[in-house]
C-alpha cells in the first residue's frame, strides 16, 4: 500500500484530474464537473494524512525522480505550509462543489480543468522546496487564473484579464531574473541549498535577487503598488474563482515571500522597507474599498487591505508578529473565501453586483446573509470570531518593541480597521435593513452552494470558538521559521 502522506500527491492528484478532464471532456460533457470534486476530496484526505507526520517531525519532505534534493526537486511541507495546503484543499473542495451548481456556461470542461489547475498551482507554490519550481508553480497559477478571469468573456472580464496578464507576465519575468541571480550566485536551485550557500554574499548582493523576487511574488501577493490588477480581476472572475484568488493566492504568494525571506535572505535591514509597503497596501486597500459600489470590487479591495495587515505583521520579524501574520492569513483565507462564495450566490439571485441592489437580502436569503455577517465580522476582527484573536496578536506583537514608528503604524492599522468596519457595516445594514425598491423574486441559494458556504463557515466558527490549538500551532510554526528551523529540519530530513 502506498503511503499517502506524500506532499507531492497534493499537486499530482489535481494535475491527474486536470488531464482526465481534458481526456474525458468530449464524451463526459458536463459530467466532468464532478472530477474536481473528487480531486480535491482526495487532496483533502492527503493533506489531513500529512498532519501526524508534520506534527511529529516538523516537516515532511518528498523527493522526485529518486534523487536527493539538491539534485532533484523536492516538496517540503512545514507546519504553516501544511495548514495552508489544508485550507487550499478545503477551499478547492468546497469551491468545486459550489461550481457544480454555479457554472452553467460553456465551455465547462475547460473551466473545470483550469480551476483544478489553479488550485493545484497554488498548493504547489505553497509546498515546493525548489525555487525554479516555485516559478513554474507561479506561472501555472497565473496562466490558469488569466483564463479563468476572462471566463465570462464580457467587456470587463476581458479587460481585467488582459491587465492581469500583462502585469503577471512582467512579474513572472522579474521573478525569473531573481531566481537566475540566485542561481548565478550559488549554482543551485534548492531553497535550503541556496540558503546554505548565500552566507558569503554581501547584503547588496542579496538585496537585488530579493527585490526581484519580491516584485514578482508581490504582484500575485497584492502588495501596493503592484496590485492594481487585483481589484479588476477578482470581480470579473466567476465567484468561485474569486474565492480561490482572494483566499489562497495572496496568502500563498506572501507565504512564499516569508519562506524565502527567512531562509535565503536572512537580513534584517529590509524589514522597515517591507513595513512601509505593508502599510501602504493596507491604507490604499481599505480606503479604496470604502468607496466601492460593486460588492465584489469592495471585497477585492478588502483583500488588498487584509494582505497589507498580515504582511505588516510579517515585517515585524518577530515570532509573535509572524504568528499573528499566520493567524491572519488563516482567517483571511477562510473568511474571504467564504464571503466570495456567499456573494456569488447572492449575485446569481439578484443579477447585479451593486451593493444597493442587495437591499433586503437579509430577510430573503437568511443562511447566506448569516454567513456573510460572520465572515465580515471575522475580517473586521470582532470577537468572538477568529479575526479578533489574530488582530489582537498582531497589535500585541507590533507594540512589543515599540518605537514611534510602530506606534504610528498601530494607529494606522486600527484606523484602517475602523474604515473596514465602516464599509462592512454599511453592507450589512443595506442587506439586513434596506428596502428593496425593485420587486425581484429572490430565493435562497441552492443547497449545493449553501453546502460550501456552510462548510467554510463552520470551520471558521470552530476555530473561532476553540482557537487555542490553532494559536499554539501557529506559534510553533512561526518559531520554527524565525529560528531558521526550516533549514535545520530540511537538512535533518534529507531535504538536501
CA 94 to chain centre: 15
Separation in Å, CA 16 to CA 13, 24, 109, 117: 5, 12, 14, 10
Which is closer to another protein, CB of 382 or CB of 448? 382
Nearest to 246 by CA among 340, 344, 157, 343: 340
Q: How far apart are CA 157 and CA 409, in angstroms?
A: 36
Question: CA 81, 86, 89, 91: dihedral to nearest 10 degrees?
Answer: -110
DSSP state of 130: B
Q: How far is the CB of 460 from another protein (least distance, A)?
A: 16
Q: Sign of the C-alpha dihedral, residues 380, 383, 387, 391?
A: positive
Residue 416 CB, nearest distance to another protein (Å)? 10
User: Closer CB to another protein, residue 36 or residue 434?
Assistant: 434
Q: Which is nearer to another protein, 102 or 377 (CB)?
A: 377
Closest contact distance (angstroms) between CB of 324 and another protein is: 10
378, three cell numbers:
471575522
Nearest-approach distance from CB 439 to another protein, in angstroms: 18
Q: CB-wise, 92 or 448, nearer to another protein?
A: 92
Closest approach, Cβ 455 to another protein, in A, equals 21
Per the CB < 8 A criterion, the answer to whether 446 and 361 are in contact is no
Query: How near is the Cβ of 391 to another protein at its closest, in Å?
Result: 8
Sign for the CA dihedral angle at 420, 423, 426, 432 comes to: negative
Residue number with CB closer to another protein (40 or 448): 40
State the minimum distance, in angstroms, from the CB of residue 182 to another protein. 11
Give whichever of 197 and 448 is closer to another protein, judged by the CB atom. Answer: 197
3-state secondary structure of 214: helix
Q: For another protein, which is the closer residue by CB, 291 or 447?
A: 291
Nearest 5°: CA angle at 47, between 74 and 338?
120
Amino acid at each position: 500500500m502506498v503511503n499517502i502522506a506524500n506532499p507531492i500527491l497534493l499537486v499530482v492528484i489535481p494535475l491527474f484530474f486536470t488531464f482526465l478532464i481534458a481526456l474525458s471532456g468530449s464524451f463526459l460533457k458536463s459530467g466532468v464537473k464532478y472530477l474536481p470534486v473528487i480531486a480535491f476530496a482526495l487532496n483533502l484526505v492527503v493533506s489531513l494524512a500529512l498532519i501526524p507526520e508534520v506534527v511529529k517531525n516538523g516537516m515532511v519532505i518528498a523527493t522526485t525522480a529518486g534523487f536527493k534534493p539538491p539534485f532533484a526537486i523536492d516538496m517540503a511541507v512545514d507546519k504553516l505550509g501544511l495548514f495552508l495546503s489544508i485550507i487550499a484543499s478545503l477551499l478547492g473542495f468546497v469551491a468545486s462543489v459550489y461550481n457544480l451548481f454555479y457554472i452553467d456556461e460553456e465551455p465547462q470542461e475547460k473551466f473545470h480543468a483550469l480551476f483544478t489547475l489553479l488550485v493545484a498551482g497554488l498548493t504547489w507554490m505553497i509546498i515546493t522546496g525548489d525555487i525554479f519550481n516555485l516559478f513554474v508553480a507561479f506561472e501555472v497559477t497565473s496562466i490558469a487564473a488569466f483564463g479563468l478571469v476572462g471566463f465570462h468573456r464580457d467587456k470587463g472580464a476581458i479587460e481585467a484579464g488582459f491587465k492581469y496578464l500583462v502585469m503577471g507576465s512582467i512579474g513572472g519575468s522579474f521573478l525569473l531574473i531573481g531566481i537566475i541571480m540566485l542561481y548565478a550566485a550559488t549554482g543551485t536551485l534548492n531553497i535550503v541549498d541556496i540558503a546554505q550557500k548565500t552566507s558569503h554574499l554581501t547584503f547588496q548582493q542579496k538585496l537585488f535577487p530579493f527585490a526581484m523576487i519580491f516584485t514578482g511574488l508581490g504582484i500575485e501577493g497584492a502588495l501596493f503598488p503592484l496590485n492594481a490588477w487585483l481589484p479588476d480581476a477578482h470581480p470579473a472572475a466567476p465567484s468561485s474563482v474569486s474565492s480561490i484568488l482572494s483566499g489562497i493566492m495572496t496568502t500563498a504568494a506572501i507565504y512564499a515571500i516569508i519562506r524565502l525571506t527567512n531562509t535565503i535572505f536572512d537580513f534584517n535591514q529590509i524589514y522597515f522597507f517591507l513595513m512601509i509597503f505593508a502599510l501602504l497596501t493596507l491604507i490604499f486597500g481599505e480606503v479604496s474599498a470604502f468607496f466601492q459600489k460593486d460588492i465584489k470590487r469592495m471585497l477585492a479591495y478588502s483583500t488588498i487591505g487584509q494582505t497589507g495587515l498580515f504582511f505588516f505583521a510579517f515585517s515585524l520579524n518577530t515570532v509573535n508578529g509572524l504568528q499573528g501574520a499566520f493567524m491572519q492569513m488563516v482567517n483571511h483565507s477562510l473568511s474571504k473565501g467564504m464571503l466570495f462564495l456567499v456573494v456569488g450566490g447572492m449575485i446569481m439571485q439578484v443579477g447585479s453586483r451593486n451593493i444597493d441592489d442587495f437591499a433586503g437580502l437579509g430577510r430573503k436569503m437568511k443562511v447566506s446573509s448569516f454567513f456573510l455577517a460572520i465572515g465580515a465580522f471575522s475580517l473586521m476582527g470582532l470577537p468572538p470570531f477568529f479575526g479578533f484573536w489574530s488582530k489582537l496578536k498582531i497589535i500585541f506583537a507590533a507594540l512589543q518593541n515599540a518605537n514611534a514608528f510602530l506606534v504610528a503604524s498601530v494607529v494606522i492599522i486600527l484606523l484602517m480597521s475602523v474604515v473596514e468596519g465602516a464599509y462592512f457595516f454599511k453592507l450589512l445594514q443595506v442587506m439586513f435593513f434596506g428596502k428593496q425598491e425593485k420587486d425581484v423574486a429572490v430565493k435562497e441559494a441552492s443547497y449545493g452552494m449553501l453546502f460550501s458556504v456552510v462548510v467554510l463557515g463552520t470551520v471558521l466558527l470552530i476555530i473561532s470558538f476553540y482557537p487555542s490549538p490553532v494559536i499554539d500551532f501557529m506559534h510553533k510554526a512561526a518559531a520554527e521559521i524565525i529560528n531558521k528551523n526550516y533549514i535545520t529540519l530540511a537538512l535533518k530530513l534529507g531535504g538536501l
